Amino acid sequence: MKFVIRAGGIGTRLWPFSRREKPKQFHALVSDRSMLQTAVERIDSIAALEDVYVSTGSALAEGVTSQLPDLVEGHLIVEPALRNTGPAVGLECVLLEAAFPGCIVASLGSDHHIGRPEEFCRLLKAAESAVSEHPDELVLVGVKPTRAETGFGYIQKGEVFHEADGEPVYRVGGVKEKPDLDTAGAYVSSGDYLWNANMFVWRAGRVLELLETHEPDLHAGLMEIKAAVGTSAEQSTLERVYPGLKEIAIDNAVLERADRVAVVEADIDWSDIGSWSALADVLPVDEKGNLLSADAITVDSTGSTVYAPEGKLVALIGVDDLVVVDAGDALLVVPKDMVQRVREVVDELGERDDGEKYL
């Protein structure tokens, strides 16, 4: 099995630390290693270094090679433009299928926390087993939900159709968009739904077949790139064709349309660290529920998060459920229940004449 760590995201909800030139996967948010470095290290037990690839955008390529000096030469997949996960996954499948016909690929994220890496690796091997025996299956890693969450998509479990070392692999009954709170609560209470963490195990060739069926224009562009792989025109063809590919998520391009989709249920202490409030899910808090940087002081304050550089004192007095993030050139102050609106700040900065320096 080949492993692709997708590291092209921008992580706008973690602004002002997550920026275009150094998004959240390059930061050490929950340990002394960056999230990208941790993503590679967590699969050490099942992935030889020569089987690991990283996919990212051209603006971030230097950052990847700096953080992963042991990455095998030629194993950095560089997207000339960011076109969402549909083209990104298509490109990784094109390149790996050209080099290893018939290969199975685990396509994984770089910017989330997994507290049980051994269990995660065991489930990836179970998914590989399912794809090996059922080569037309697309196997998702669905996370067992711990609460009603409106910010994630959901995967409905169906009947068990395969077992690998006692691990059930379920037929997928449907992939649901982000629900409202009542619907999310019903999903979690039923026990039949998992969070969609956008982690996949499949044959590269099968994904390309499905793209040909459901997104023929996107597939045609990818085949033009594939025809040039290994030739002197490979890079120029990639740079010419890729930016014009349809911008679409792999969920919409393939998963919602495929008729053979399966899922393994992952109880792996997972968090996408998708907002500043989510840090308190994976890092220790004090007796009043505050998550504080080293130099923070709180007086009559509860449930707050302070993230600031070493040597910067932040004091909170009489406030609850507040997020304060100091990035040096930018300061964020927001109630915890409004952290998803950080994206609106990023959008407004994109429209301001002087906004680029903060992005």
The pLDDT tens digits of the residues spanning 305-349 come to 999 888 889 999 999 999 999 998 999 999 998 988 999 999 999
Residue carrying the six token digits 């379920």: 170
Find the angle CA(212)-CA(214)-CA(219) to the nearest 5 degrees: 35
Contact 282, 275 (CB under 8 A): no
Instruction: Say how far apart CA 123 and CA 43 lie, in whole Å.
Output: 11
- Across the range 112-137, mean pLDDT stands at 95
Q: Is the peptide bond before 87 cis (omega within 30 degrees of 0)?
A: no
- CA terminus-to-terminus distance, the chain: 37
Domain spans, the chain: 2-271, 276-358
What pLDDT is stored for residue 3 in this prediction?
Answer: 98
pLDDT beyond 90 at 304? yes
Cα dihedral across residues 49, 50, 54, 59: positive or negative: positive
pLDDT beyond 80 at 294? no
pLDDT beyond 80 at 11? no
For residue 194, the cross-strand partners are 155
- Across the range 165-177, mean pLDDT stands at 89
What pLDDT is stored for residue 217 in this prediction?
Answer: 97
Exposure class string for 108-135: b at 16+ Cβ within 10 A, else e: bbbbbbbeebeebbbbbbbbbbbbeebe
The pLDDT tens digits for 70-95 are 999 999 999 999 899 999 999 999 99
- Across the range 276-284, mean pLDDT stands at 86
pLDDT beyond 90 at 123? yes
pLDDT above 70 covers a percentage of the chain that reads 100
Cα dihedral across residues 153, 154, 160, 164: positive or negative: positive
Alpha helices in the chain (DSSP H): 35-41, 61-67, 85-99, 117-133, 181-190, 204-214, 216-228, 234-241, 250, 342-351
148 falls in which pLDDT band (50, 70, 90)?
A: confident
Contact 141, 169 (CB under 8 A): no
Give the fold, CATH level 3, of 2-271: Spore Coat Polysaccharide Biosynthesis Protein SpsA; Chain A (3.90.550)
